[in-house]
Amino acid sequence: MENSLIEKRKNRGILLISCPDRPGIVSKVSTTLFEHDCNIIDSNQHSTDPEAGHFFLRIEFECPDLDNKKHAIEQSIELLSNTFEMKYTFNYGSDSQNLAIFVSKENHCLLELLLEWQRGDLLGDIKLVIGNHEDLREYVENVNIPFYYLPITRETKAEVEKKQLELLKEFKIDTIVLARYMQILSPTFIEHYPYQIINIHHSFLPAFIGANPYKRAYERGVKLIGATAHYVTDDLDEGPIIEQDIERVKHHHELSDLKKIGSQVERKVLLKAVKWHNSHRIIPFGNKTIVFD
């Protein structure tokens, strides 16, 4: 599906920078971009506390004929990086993110992503959906996206993950979205996609980590139901948090009510996280994230 946002952004670039904090960084970066006829259209920065002394910068710029100029721009920033000890990445509006969605049986997060994709507002292209159940095949194939059914057991886990990785490579996937995929990915799988796997956890982490959080929240008598989108790491449900939100619940709400309310929060939180990731607004830092929303 042609993405109208990609076409509009074909001469735009995004520069993300992380480095020790010191005077002159913004000035030098801005001047360097100016020297290459770049017009800065959005700039956000953040400094940690003086003791930690770290600096983060996101600059979105527009440059005529960017495809032919970006190599020279990158070389100039590379020279700056040596001076300021920068870690940096360039991303370009003409580069569409290729997404894979992993699902099980719940459909609400998948449908939210499909709807946004159909509107052309996802800044990415959903290339395939992988499910460990058949339940959601119809939703996916109705919009002409390939659906792959790969059931998984403890005994077949290694074999299935190998097949999943083969599919991801075949479709040149940049980002994996776990849209209520009720399986734990192995460290071997995760190491192929560092900070490229986004999960939605149906709980306001760090509370109720692991399985059945709504049941445990109901039994605890919580007054707030939340959801957390985070990057997947080897530590279960403890990767860097991207976005969270909550809704208030009352004493008369049953477990089924909590699940319905929670599903609405999950959809909203996951979509925000995916959009921010696709538009390169996130810089992971330790087990935290800097999110320029």
User: What's the mean pLDDT when you consider all of the chain?
Assistant: 91
pLDDT of residue 221: 84
- Distances in Å between the alpha carbon of 29 and those of 43, 96, 173? 11, 25, 31
Cis peptide before 206 (omega within 30 of 0): yes
Q: Please name the fold of domain 4-92.
A: Alpha-Beta Plaits (3.30.70)
CA dist list (Å): 208 to 223, 224, 228: 14, 13, 11
Mean of pLDDT values over 246-250? 89
Distances (CA, A) of 80 to 22, 40, 86: 13, 18, 8
Determine whether 237 is an active site residue.
yes
Count of other CB atoms within 10 angstroms of residue 75: 10
| DSSP three-state, residue 83 | helix
pLDDT score of 2: 46
287, two tokens: 């087990």
Report the pLDDT value the prediction gives residue 219, as an integer from 0 to 100.
Answer: 81
| CA-closest candidate to residue 41, choices 111, 93, 100 | 93
Q: How far, in Å, CA of 235 to CA of 142, rounded?
A: 36
**pLDDT value of position 6:** 60
Mean pLDDT of the 45-57 span: 85
pLDDT value, residue 93: 83
**Mean pLDDT across the stretch 202-228?**
77
In the set 67, 95, 235, 237, the catalytic residue is 237
pLDDT tens per residue across span 11-21: 999 999 999 99
Q: Where along the chain do its domains lie?
A: 4-92, 97-291
H or E element in which residue 84 lies: helix 66-84
Distance, CA of 125 to CA of 107 (rounded, Å): 19
CA distance 243 to 2: 28
Among 46-55, 107-116, 151-160, the minimum mean pLDDT is found in: 46-55
Quote the distance between the C-alpha of residue 237 and its chain's center: 15
Residues forming a β-bridge with 18: 56, 87
Using one digit for the tens of pLDDT, what is the confidence trace for 63-121? 999 999 999 999 999 999 999 999 999 999 878 789 999 999 999 999 999 999 999 88
Task: Return the CATH fold of 97-291.
Answer: Rossmann fold (3.40.50)
The span from the CA of 69 to the CA of 258, in Å, is 53
Higher pLDDT, 52 or 58: 58
> What is the spatial distance between Cα 226 and Cα 245, in angstroms, rounded to a whole number?
5
Residues 6+ apart with CB under 8 A from 89: 15, 16, 280
Confidence of residue 206 (pLDDT cuts 50, 70, 90): low
CA distance 68 to 16: 20
Mean pLDDT of 256-272: 91
Side chain identity, residue 1:
M
Q: How far apart are CA 58 and CA 11, in angstroms?
A: 17
pTM: 0.91
Report yes or no: 147 and 179 within 8 Å, Cβ to Cβ.
Answer: no
